[in-house]
Amino acid sequence: MEDYKFLFKVVLVGNAGVGKTCLVRRFTQGLFPPGQGATIGVDFMIKTVEVENEKVKLQIWDTAGQERFRSITQSYYRSAHALILVYDISCQPTFDCLPDWLREIEEYASNKVLRILVGNKIDREDREIPTHVGEDFAQRHGMYFLETSAKEAENVERLFMEIAAELMEVSENILFKSILLLW
């Protein structure tokens, strides 16, 4: 019944309060929890999606943004297939921290990891980071870029679907190559 062809681990990182948990909730449960408390340590959700008629299971690890949980959250980077780095478009400091996060990713994650930069909360009126700034940053660091709103459910589905598709393509390529090699 629950036969999936691919299993991908996706980890969300980013400063506290940028809306990581809300993104995950929106995607897996289709709801936007108002007044969501701070995540403690790591939370875990699962969702199976269908890409090109193939079932893909996404294990989504939602990490705490708070500094004090850094040691536990870092340990989750390594096994990730995709890392979603989230910032808040209405909050400059969360954007300023991105280089730090990248450094951490460099240190702890595998180098083949798929990295996606996400500017969340585009429903907010008080935007501080223009879209092109985020785009530039993503481009400079070889990341995919997307702006989302967990509240309005904008681009959330797309974000995860694209990740699933991309990861599938990558792993199918690898599969294909290895078959070629075997040939």
Partner 1 sequence: MFGCCWCCSALRPRYKRLVDNIFPVNPQDGLIKNNMEKLTFYSLSSPEKLDRIGEYLFQRASRDIYRRRNGFVVIAMEAMDQLLVACHAQTLNLFIESFLKMVQKLLESTDPQLQILATQSFVRFANIEEDTPSYHTRYDFFVSKYSAMCHSNNDDSIIRKQIRLAGIQGLQGVVRKTLSDDLVENIWEPVHMDKIVPSLLYVDKEHAMPDSPTEERSDPPQFAETCMRELIGRASFGHIRCVIRPVLRHLDNHQLWVPNYFAIHTFRIIMFSIQSQYSYTVVEALMTHLDDHSKSSPKIRTSIADTLSKIISIAAGESVGPSVLEIINSLLSHLRVSVTRNQSSSNDEQLYQEALINALGEFANHLPDYQKIEIMMFIMSKVPYSQPDRIVSVGKGDVLLQSILLKSLLKVGTKYQTIHLNTTFPPSFLDPLLRMSLAADAEMRLLVQKIFHTLIDRHRNIMKLAKPTVNMVELGLVIEKASRPDVIFIRKHGPEIYLALYESLELSSNTVENVESIYTTLALLAIELASEETILELLRLVLSLQDLALTSGQISLSLKFNLHATVISLLVLISYVCNITVLMDYAEKVVDARRKDSPHLLPDLQSQYDAALTSRLTPAVLVDQTVVSECLKGVGLDSGKLQQGSGYSSNSLQHRHSWVDSAGRNSLADINSGGQELDSGGSSPSVQKKLPGEELTFESMKRILTENNNNYIVEEEKRMQLSQFFRNAPFQDLVSKTQPKHDVLQSKLSEIFNTLSVEPRNTVSTTGQQTDAKPSQTPSYEIHFPELFVY
Task: Note the residues at the interface with partner 1 (CB under 8 A).
Answer: 1-2, 29, 37-46, 59, 61, 64, 67-72, 74-76, 78-79
Q: How far is the CB of 21 from partner 1 (least distance, A)?
A: 10
In one-letter notation, the amino acid at residue 67 is: E
Which one, 53 or 71, has the nearer CB to partner 1?
71
Distance between CA atoms of residues 24 and 7, nearest Å: 17
Q: How far is the CB of 26 from partner 1 (least distance, A)?
A: 15
Which residues have a Cβ under 8 Å from the Cβ of 74 and sit 6 or more positions away? 104, 108
Which one, 79 or 178, has the nearer CB to partner 1?
79
Q: How far is the CB of 109 from partner 1 (least distance, A)?
A: 12
Q: How far is the CB of 153 from partner 1 (least distance, A)?
A: 19
Distance between CA atoms of residues 42 and 53, nearest Å: 31
What values do phi and psi take at 172, rounded to 5?
-70, -35
Which one, 47 or 151, has the nearer CB to partner 1?
47
Which one, 1 or 181, has the nearer CB to partner 1?
1
